[in-house]
Structures are given as C-alpha cells and as structure tokens.
Amino acid sequence: MTYSSGSLINQKKWILLFHFIIGAIIGVLLLHPLTTMVFWYEYKGLIEFPGNSPIEFLIQRLITEFKFELMPMSFVFALLGGIVGLLFGLYHIRLSGQKNLVRSLEHELAEELPLLIARGESEHLEFKSTYRWDVRQQRTNRALESIVIKTIAGFLNREGGTLLIGVEDNGNIIGIDSDFQTLKHKNRDGFERALMDTVKTSLGGNACALLHCRFHDIENKTICRVIVESAVEPVYYHEDSVARLMVRTGNSTRELDAREAHAYLSSRTTKSFSL
C-alpha cells in the first residue's frame, strides 16, 4: 500500500489530534483530581475544604470542575494534558517512521539478495548450507556450528562481512527449514536465539552486539542473512579451553598461528595508535 505525501500529512494530523484529545481528557479526569489531592494533603490544616476526607473532597471537585467558576482551571489542565498527549503523538509518529524505514530496508535487502548470491563468495561474503543439519548424513551435527562461528569470528577480525546460511557453495539455495526442526523453538526466533547463544559461548557476549540477523524467503525457502560488523578489539574463538584467532583471508576463514597472530595483533595496535 502506498500513500501520497498529502495523505501522510493528513494521517499525522489525525494522529496528533487523537493524542491531544486523549491527553486533554486525561488532564481533566486524572491530572486535575490528582493535583487536587496533593493540594488537600498540603493545606488541609490551613484551609477549610469541603468534605471530611480527601476522597470526599476529590468527588466534590470532580462534580464541580465543569461548573463555570472552575472552567478556567479545567481548561488549563486540559491544555497541559493535551500538550503531553501531543508529545506522545510525535513520539508515536517518529517510532512508526523508523519501523517503516526498517521494513523498507529489509525489502530492499531481500530484492538484491539473488544478485548478491550470483556474485559468489568473496572476502566479505560467505555461504553456508546449514547451521547444524548435516545434509549428507541427514541428522543433527553440532560440529557444523563451529564452522559457522569461525566464519563469523573471521569477519569480526577483519572488515566485517555477510554470512548467508541456507546457500550452498555453488549458490544453490536449500534454505534452513531442516535446521528449524533441530531447535526447541522451530521458527526464525528460535534459530536466531540458538545462533546468538552459540556466538556468546564461543566468542563472548560483546560479539553478539556486532551481529544482525535478517531472514528472507527465496524460492519458498528461508535464508538467514547474518550481517557482521568489524570488531574494534580482536575476537577469539574459544574451543576446548583454547583461544583461537580466526581471520578472513580472501574467500575463506583460517586460524592464525603464533607468528601470524603476533603480526596481526601488532598491526591492529599500530592502526589504533595512528587513529
């Protein structure tokens, strides 16, 4: 569904008007009585109020607040409530705009995904058939998870990149529906949760903040796109109490030996100081 600029402006005006009216009603029926209660407690020993209790006084004010002599005060509270309602309305419009922008960007990502796959793997793009489902043995193979996590670590330690899970090395799309069946929650949320849990365990909690999962449907199959940012500090892959340094080189990910790791860390330190 598309909207013209005029219809969008009118829609925003109605949203703001609605929030103003609701705010004004709340101001009169809630804010005014609450202020009255505070006033009663503060001055009950100095001023004679109608009623013997704050509740009686509150009821009396609710009954009389629409009388002519109290209309100016009711109008003030209606205006205050309306202003607060407008602020909430502006926040609602801004939040809706951000959600629409995210949907638009995800739609654009989905449209260009086939072109991305057609280019093939590169330094910033990697394909993985599945996350933990062994296609050859037709069973769950948790060892496959380590391959995925090592690839993510390699991207983190270089310039970032994109990992497509559900795509074979030759670009053939097989999807991750078989992976869903290995999860406790057999859906996209369950897949993302399982992936993030493994990343947290193997790479540390800070790495999770640098990953962004998006799901796309192509040829009636679900693909998980993992967008990986570049990490400021080196990220180590922990396996059997051993910390391994994985780096993306060309279109593959490999572990650096001691000499290479030292040179790599030295180069990162030099870059940090130069910045």
Looking at residue 251, its pLDDT comes to 86
Looking at residue 25, its pLDDT comes to 85
Looking at residue 76, its pLDDT comes to 82
Looking at residue 4, its pLDDT comes to 46
User: pLDDT tens-digit profile of 183-213?
Assistant: 999 999 999 999 999 999 999 999 999 998 9
CATH 3.30.950.30 location in the chain:
120-274
At 3, list the tokens.
């909207």
Q: Which helix (H) or strand (E) holds 248?
A: strand 242-249
Cα end-to-end span (Å), the chain: 47
> For 120-274, CATH number?
3.30.950.30
Looking at residue 55, its pLDDT comes to 67
Give dist(CA 116, CA 125) in Å, integer.
9
Looking at residue 74, its pLDDT comes to 75
Give dist(CA 98, CA 119) in Å, integer.
31
Looking at residue 82, its pLDDT comes to 86
Looking at residue 272, its pLDDT comes to 47
Residues of the chain with pLDDT under 50: 1-5, 272-275
How far is C-alpha 132 from the geometric centre of its chain's CA atoms?
25
